[in-house]
Amino acid sequence: MWSARFRWARRALLLAGLAVVLGALVHLGPEVILGHLRALGWGLLLIFLPYLLVSVLDTLGWRYAIQHGAPSVSFARLFFARLAGEAVNVTVPAASLGGEPVKAFLLGGSRVPLTEALASVVIAKTTMTMSQLPFVLIGLGIAATYAEVSGPFIALMTLLLAAGTILITAFFLSQRWGLCAVVLGLLRRVGVRSRFLEAREEDLKGLDLRIADFYARSPRRFSLSLLFHFLGWVAGSLEVYVVMQLLGLGGSFTTAFAIEALGSAIRAGAFLIPANVGTQEGGNILLFGAFGLASAAGLTFSLLRRVRELTFTGGGLLVLARFGIPLRRSDTA
C-alpha cells in the first residue's frame, strides 16, 4: 500500500515538474531559448567535458571509500560501475538511491566481497553528501556579497543548509552506531516487520561492522574520499561557467560556483522528484536571475544539462546491458 502511494506521489511530482518546465518555456519564449541554442553551435560539445571531470573525481572519491586491504579494483571498473549506477538513479523512481545497489553489484563482480562493495557505496554516498556541505556554505557566502541576491533567498538557503547538516550528521552517526541495526530497531519499534531484512540480519550486522571499521581504521582514506568528492562538486561549477561564456553572459567563476552550489542544494532538497524535473529548471531560472543574469539563460542552461544527463545516462544503460543487469518492470513502475 505504501509503495503504491509512493509511486503515485512521485508521478504527481513528475507531472508538476513537467508543468513547471512547460510554463517557463512559454513564459520566457521558445524563440529566445532556440536563439541561445543556435548561438552555441559546435560549442555545445564543450558541455560534456566538465561532467567527465566530475565523473573522474567522484570515481576517485569512491575508490578511497574502499577499505585498505580489499582486493584491488581497476579505475575503469569503478568508473563504469558508477556510470551505470548513476543512470539507474536518474531512470528508476527510488529517490536517487536505486543505482547504489547496482554500483555494489558491479563492484562485487570484480573479486570484491559484496559486503565490502556495499560498505564502500554507503561510505562514498556519505562522503559525497558531507563534502557538499562546505561547497554550499562557500556558495552561500559568495551569494551574500551580491547586492542583487535578496535577503529572504539567503535566509531560505541557510535554513536548507542547516537542515542538510542535521540530516547528514545523523546519517553519519547512525553508521558509527550501526546503520542497519538502527533501521531494524526503528522498524520494530513502530511495529513494521520486514521478513526480507530480518532474514538477512546477520549479513546486515556484518555490513555495519565493515562500515564502522572503515571509519575507525581508515581516517586517511576517509579524508581523501571527502577531498575528491568536494573537488567533484567544484568541477561541476565549470559546467555553469562554460555555458555562461558560450552564451556571452560574461560573469566570473565565483558566480558560476555560487549558482552551482546553491542549485545543488535545491536539487538535494527536492530529491523525491524524478530526475529533479521542474526543480532543476525553476532553480536555475531563479538563480540566474538572482545573480543579474538573464532568466532565459537559466532555462537554456537547464536544457543543455538535460542533454548532457541523457547522454551519460545512455552510456550508463549501455554498461548495464553489457553486464546483463535487468531492470524489472516492478522496479521502474
pLDDT-above-90 percentage for the chain:
32
The string of pLDDT tens digits covering residues 253-276 is: 999 999 999 999 988 877 667 667
Task: Say if 31 falls within a structural domain.
Answer: no
CB contact at 8 A, 78 and 319: no
User: Which ranges of the chain does DSSP label H, i.e. alpha helix?
Assistant: 2-28, 30-40, 48-63, 75-91, 99-108, 114-144, 151-177, 179-189, 195-199, 201-217, 219-246, 253-269, 279-290, 295-323, 329-332
Higher pLDDT, 169 or 29: 169
Amino acid occupying residue 160: L
The string of pLDDT tens digits covering residues 87-130 is: 888 776 554 566 888 898 888 766 788 888 889 999 999 999 99
What is the reported pLDDT for 207? 85
Task: Say if 138 falls within a structural domain.
Answer: yes
Q: Nine-digit cell at 107?
A: 563492484
Indicate whether 58 pLDDT > 50.
Answer: yes
Instruction: Please name which of 182, 134, 193, 126 lies closest in space to residue 161, comparing C-alpha atoms.
Output: 134
Q: What is the arithmetic mean of pLDDT over 315-328?
A: 75
Return the axis-axis angle of helices 179-189 and 201-217, rounded to nearest 10°: 140
Indicate whether 241 pLDDT > 90.
Answer: yes
pTM of the model: 0.83
Task: Say if 20 falls within a structural domain.
Answer: no
Task: Say if 167 falls within a structural domain.
Answer: yes
Q: Residues 6 or more apart from 101 whose CB is under 8 A from it?
A: 118, 121
Please give the Cα distance from 51 to 303 (Å, whole number): 15
Task: Say if 25 falls within a structural domain.
Answer: no
Q: What's the structural domain count of the chain?
A: 1
Please give the Cα distance from 241 to 133 (Å, whole number): 21
Return the axis-axis angle of helices 75-91 and 48-63, rounded to nearest 10°: 110
Q: How many residues does the chain have?
A: 333
Task: Say if 100 falls within a structural domain.
Answer: yes
For residue 330, the number of C-alpha atoms closer than 13 Å in the C-beta half-sphere is: 1
The string of pLDDT tens digits covering residues 214-228 is: 999 899 999 999 999
What is the reported pLDDT for 289? 86
Task: Say if 39 falls within a structural domain.
Answer: no
Task: Say if 27 falls within a structural domain.
Answer: no
Indicate whether 287 pLDDT > 60.
Answer: yes
What is the domain extent for residue 239? 8-13+46-325
Q: What is the mean pLDDT of the chain?
A: 81
Winning range, highest mean pLDDT, from 38-42, 160-164, 194-198: 160-164
- Cβ neighbours around 146 below 10 Å, total: 15
